[in-house]
Chain A
């Protein structure tokens, strides 16, 4: 699809959607938001890019292949379950690291955040794989070995 309005709009909208997705990811654990919804917003931005500028541009934006992003997300999410072992707590127990930034400001970092980042990447990777499969030729039909 080639539309000037869509392309101009995408240039403004897509970065804002990415920012919004990061905001949702960050506030997620105790407030509405989280890795899943953040990932979906980010995917919408990337899908918008794909619709406005074509699938090739979408792939360039992602840098890595969507499946690799999903794989990295799965790894990060799985790793977030493990630090609890060092603390002698069960699998997936949330751990918080509260960094004091001075002036009374505290930066809470936690394993749930790490998990959310993993989910965020998995959602982006997974849904982008699907979109790529639908926009381009289905990946199945390059092999034919009897039947």
Chain B
């Protein structure tokens, strides 16, 4: 046990600051990203942030209640997406409100939470006849919110049993023997 602890301590030497964002510093975090290809107005930042929270309410996980996925989503669209996909996303959020207004008779930002959830459910089930751009926003926000959650330290350690060192490998293990299998 002492050896495991010593090894763990050894690899902590280069532990850097994780990219964890809290609601309080959302705008500051986005500013620090130095986005090159996206110029998102505060109105749309709030819209995308809200969309992310309705699609994947991270605050429902107590350990992640202060996390927001938005800066990660924007950073990925800005720096990892190719220009065509990025433009779809931009066109999608720029016209999101007006298109939703046409489809649902109400702007997204003016909807009650239940209406937002209903809209998101319809989009998720592809039951809404909407533009490709609107679906691009929905799909991007959903996919990147999931990617954000599943790459948090909490998720990696709790669900994936991640340990950098000492790592482990057992190739023939009963499912029931996995560390977190009794948590359910």
Query: Do A and B actually bind?
Result: no
